[in-house]
């Protein structure tokens, strides 16, 4: 599925294939240079990024080798070579990217990070650049995100059955803190934005504080932290409080300041969302308490923690049925009977031979009710909290993945990959 259809009509300006060193060889390239027929580095960079946007890939890799600069495109489930450029272009391209991303050009040893925004056709893209020195130069990864991409519906995030019901109940509350957790790139910010879109209405004031604007929300006030122009995170958080939002989002709980401000907003009557890195829903609670927040403070605000992890979806064009063996039946537990068929990955042209195409999320939805709040207030151990949540019907992420396996959405291999 391509989410960037508005870009398809952009013509190719630089035929990268005509300067591919793997195709032409060194001598022919030298001739092109002599004849002045190599496009400028600016035009080459522009073409690479535009093509990535058109192909809807998330990552662009610049990998300098001894004799070539390999450009690769990647997503979460594949990586492919695009073109091999003459290696002497590497330094020029790196120089331009550094200027655009506000990266120090004189620092040659430490890894660096920067960001910038670029318009491609009718869309605006957020680019985050990561750069590290390697033997042959500088290895660069650009993380490319279409800020105008269409957000999915709440029902299409991967929340199913009971999880969807519980989540809808949580977000219908008037106030409270909901923490969306997962690994980096688990899709939690998409969940956050999708939820805001689901809750939007003319009567509601929605305000966000974000370090990187991943989506443009035309129904919300988005405060983008930009210390380089004097807008620090603290100032942004204060601005959010002063806006008195009905609904708020703070992009990442990083420190005591963030969580304290989020709790303060809830006490004033807001429904607040925030994201955080955590390996499951339950352990987010001690993580937050570790930021020097008192159990009392947290228990005045927290109403839910939602964990998610992505699982790759089986390619519909090539997935094949099979009968699981005894070990797999046991792994999947109840709901699988002898002779039942499941699906597994095969690989075809459409899915670049991986057997998977696209991804969805598996969830844990933890409702923090009075009993759990009491336990948090008493500073109970993680084991005690987990035990209490299980008794109340908390379903862990493995069970959600098993459900997705039985529905033919993903595979047993994915369950093993995610939970091993």
Per-residue string for binding with Zn ion, 168-207, x by CB under 5 A?
A: ----------------------------------------
**Which one of residues 315, 332, 336, 366 is an interface residue with Zn ion (CB under 5 A)?**
315
Check residue 323 for interaction with Zn ion (CB under 5 A): no
Question: What is the distance between the alpha carbons of residues 389 and 371, in angstroms, rounded to a whole number?
Answer: 9
Question: What is the distance between the alpha carbons of residues 269 and 177, in angstroms, rounded to a whole number?
Answer: 10
**Which one of residues 49, 87, 351, 376 is an interface residue with Zn ion (CB under 5 A)?**
351
Check residue 316 for interaction with Zn ion (CB under 5 A): no
**Which one of residues 12, 134, 153, 317 is an interface residue with Zn ion (CB under 5 A)?**
317
Check residue 385 for interaction with Zn ion (CB under 5 A): no
Nearer to Zn ion, 43 or 317 (CB): 317
Name the minimum Å distance from CB 317 to Zn ion: 4
**Which one of residues 289, 348, 373, 418 is an interface residue with Zn ion (CB under 5 A)?**
348
Question: What is the distance between the alpha carbons of residues 54 and 44, in angstroms, rounded to a whole number?
Answer: 15
**Which one of residues 69, 83, 90, 318 is an interface residue with Zn ion (CB under 5 A)?**
318
Question: What is the distance between the alpha carbons of residues 207 and 91, in angstroms, rounded to a whole number?
Answer: 41
Nearer to Zn ion, 6 or 358 (CB): 358
Check residue 353 for interaction with Zn ion (CB under 5 A): no
74 touches 59 (CB < 8 A): yes
| 375 membership: H or E segment, kind and range | helix 370-377
111-119, 246-254, 262-270, 316-324 -> range binding Zn ion (CB under 5 A): 316-324
Name the minimum Å distance from CB 92 to Zn ion: 38
Check residue 314 for interaction with Zn ion (CB under 5 A): no
Task: Output the six-digit token pair for 364.
Answer: 């844990």
Question: What is the distance between the alpha carbons of residues 98 and 29, in angstroms, rounded to a whole number?
Answer: 26
The residues, ordered by sequence, that sit 6+ positions from 91 with a Cβ below 8 Å of its Cβ are 137
Quick one: 69 exposed, middle or buried, by C-beta within 10 A (0-12, 13-18, 19+)?
buried
Beta-carbon neighbour count of residue 391 at 10 Å? Answer: 9
| 243 membership: H or E segment, kind and range | none
Site for Zn ion in 395-414 (CB under 5 A): none
Name the minimum Å distance from CB 358 to Zn ion: 11
203-211, 291-299, 303-311, 351-359 -> range binding Zn ion (CB under 5 A): 351-359
Strand residue runs (E) in 152-231: 176-182, 206-210, 221-224
Residues at the contact surface with Zn ion, assessed by CB under 5 A: 315, 317-318, 348, 350-351
């Amino acid at each position: 599925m391509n989410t960037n259809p508005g870009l398809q009509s952009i013509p190719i300006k630089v035929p990268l294939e005509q300067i591919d060193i793997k195709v032409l060889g060194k001598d022919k390239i030298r001739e092109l240079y002599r004849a002045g027929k190599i496009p400028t580095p600016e035009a080459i960079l522009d073409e690479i990024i535009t093509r990535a946007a058109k192909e809807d890939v998330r990552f662009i890799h610049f990998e300098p080798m001894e004799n070539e600069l390999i450009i690769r495109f990647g997503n979460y489930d594949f990586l492919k070579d695009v073109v091999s450029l003459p290696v002497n272009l590497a330094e020029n391209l790196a120089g331009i990217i550094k200027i655009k991303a506000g990266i120090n050009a004189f620092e040659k040893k430490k890894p660096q990070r920067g960001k910038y925004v670029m318009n491609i056709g009718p869309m605006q893209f957020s680019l985050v650049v990561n750069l590290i020195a390697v033997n042959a130069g500088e290895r660069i990864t650009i993380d490319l995100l279409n800020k105008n991409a269409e957000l999915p519906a709440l029902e299409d995030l991967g929340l199913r059955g009971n999880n969807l019901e519980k989540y809808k109940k949580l977000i219908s509350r008037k106030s409270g803190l909901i923490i969306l957790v997962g690994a980096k790139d688990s899709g939690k910010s998409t969940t956050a934005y999708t939820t805001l879109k689901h809750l939007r209405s003319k009567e509601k004031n929605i305000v966000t504080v974000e370090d990187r604007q991943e989506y443009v929300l035309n129904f919300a006030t988005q405060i983008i932290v930009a210390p380089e122009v004097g807008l620090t995170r603290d100032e942004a958080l204060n601005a959010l409080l002063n806006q008195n939002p009905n609904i708020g989002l703070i992009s990442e709980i990083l420190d005591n300041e963030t969580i304290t401000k989020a709790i303060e907003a809830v006490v004033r009557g807001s429904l607040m969302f925030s994201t955080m890195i955590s390996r499951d829903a339950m352990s987010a609670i001690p993580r937050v308490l570790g930021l020097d927040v008192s159990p009392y403070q947290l228990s005045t605000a927290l109403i839910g923690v939602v964990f998610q992890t992505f699982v790759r979806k089986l390619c519909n064009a090539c997935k094949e049925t099979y009968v699981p063996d005894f070990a797999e039946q046991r792994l999947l537990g109840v709901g699988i009977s002898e002779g039942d068929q499941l699906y597994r990955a095969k690989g075809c042209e459409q899915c670049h031979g991986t057997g998977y195409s696209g991804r969805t999320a598996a969830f844990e939805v933890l409702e923090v009710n009075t009993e759990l709040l009491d336990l948090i207030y008493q500073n109970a151990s993680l084991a005690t909290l987990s035990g209490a949540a299980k008794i109340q019907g908390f379903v862990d992420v493995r069970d959600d993945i098993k459900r997705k396996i039985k529905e033919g959405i993903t595979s047993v291999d994915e369950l093993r990959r995610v939970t091993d």
